[in-house]
Structure 1
Amino acid sequence: MKYKRLILIILIILVVTKSVYMLYPMPYKEYIFELADEYDLEPTLIYAIIQTETHFDYMAVSRSNAKGLMQIMDMTGEWGADELDIDDFTPEMLFNPYVNIRIGTWYIDKLISQYDANVDMALMAYNAGSGNVAKWLADTKYSSDGKTVHTIPFNETKNYIKKVNFHKRIYDLLY
């Protein structure tokens, strides 16, 4: 009886562990690790953004028409494609996982640099737009130092940052 209980506990642990890994997959590993290395970013940050944005649905389109795994807006895609010398870019190319991850990784790196390596500020801009973040930084109701936002007026953005950070912690623990 003692052994049956032990075996049952081991089986439950294995099933739960397997389930967690299934909830936090690592597809597109070659792309994400290559691009994270190129931009000196943690691959788990890119995975956490994709997990939060689309749960790895490369054909996802948001209400605001953001496309692909990392939910890139057409204008951001065009800007990124121009900066990255992606020839003959069309917004439909954002459904290509490599193109989407390449532009998304370039963009989050650009935002991290813009906000002095403050990843939460970069995530805020990634979600709400740099224009909104600039307004919040200029308003003492949201920022006391003009460099960080202490009160995020958009609940969606506040929750987005929490979700990305949560998913990143899980990825860091698992991998």
Structure 2
Amino acid sequence: MRLKFISKIVIVLLVIMAVLNAKNIIKYYFPLKYSDYVVRYSKEYNLDPHFVMAVIKTESNFNPDIRSGKNAIGLMQITPETAKWAAEKMNITDFTENMLNDPEFNIKMGCWYLNDLNTEFNGDMKLVLAAYNGGRGNVQKWLKNSEHSMDGQSLQYIPFKETDKYIKKVEVSYKVYRYLYEGNMTSAFLISLP
């Protein structure tokens, strides 16, 4: 009887160790890179840092040197056209395209832009992501089209497959980041802030 009890305890401990190890493996694929900048600018622009991490993971997989086929640059994949417009709105007078290669600047501008979209789309993260990926003008057109929106407030159908897939990827990454770092992510971030 005592041997059975000890065997059950060992099995439970092995399962717990496997679960903890699995979480560490998942953290390898969903890291907290650039966390000091993410926390700083998420806070400044009233965003969830888990959400910003999910956007960066989806956009660039944390590669600050990446440039897309559509000429989007850096961690948050901002196009030079959008950056020039955002720089004007942010009162950045000395903006140059090279600034998008700097991780801190890229995250700051990306967070500003997400916040701007968040304001325009009343906090609807699906619309914010659709606009971030597919363009705010397209989202406004889709909302006015009864094939895409029944109420003019939300989207039932996104005609750009890439945008639809993008939203789903960010949503999954967001859930993973919240699962892995909820409760300790913000404190882990804040440790690295000055």
The one-letter amino acid paired with 2:159 is P
Among candidates 46, 50, 71, match of residue 44 of structure 1: 50
Fraction of identical pairs, as percent: 38
The CA RMSD measured in Å over matched residues stands at: 1.9
Among candidates 40, 48, 62, match of residue 34 of structure 1: 40
Larger radius of gyration: 2
Mapped partners of 2:16, 2:149: distance in 1? 50
Ranked by relative contact order (alpha carbons within 8 Å, sequence separation 6 or more), the top structure is 2
**Runs (5+) with no aligned partner, structure 2:** 1-6, 182-194
Among candidates 134, 151, 169, match of residue 163 of structure 1: 169
Contact 2:66 2:74 in 1 (8 A): yes
Matches within 5 A, 1:1-80: 12-80=18-86
Mapped partners of 1:98, 1:90: distance in 2? 14
The one-letter amino acid paired with 2:78 is I
143-152 or 12-21: which moved more?
Answer: 12-21
Quick one: structure 1 residues 4 and 123, their matched pair in 2 at CA, closer, same or farther if it must change by over 3 Å?
A: same
The one-letter amino acid paired with 1:121 is L
Contact 2:62 2:75 in 1 (8 A): yes
Q: Residue 82 of structure 1: CA displacement?
A: 2.0
Q: Residue 134 of structure 1: CA displacement?
A: 1.7
Instruction: Tell me the equivalent position of 2:147.
Output: 141
Mapped partners of 1:72, 1:117: distance in 2? 21
Among candidates 108, 112, 128, match of residue 102 of structure 1: 108
SS in 2 for 1:63: coil
The TM-score, its normalising length taken from structure 1, stands at 0.91
Quick one: structure 1 residues 13 and 117, their matched pair in 2 at CA, closer, same or farther if it must change by over 3 Å?
A: closer
Quick one: structure 1 residues 6 and 143, their matched pair in 2 at CA, closer, same or farther if it must change by over 3 Å?
A: closer
The one-letter amino acid paired with 1:39 is Y
Among candidates 92, 99, 106, match of residue 98 of structure 2: 92
Quick one: structure 1 residues 8 and 92, their matched pair in 2 at CA, closer, same or farther if it must change by over 3 Å?
A: same
Q: Residue 152 of structure 1: CA displacement?
A: 0.5
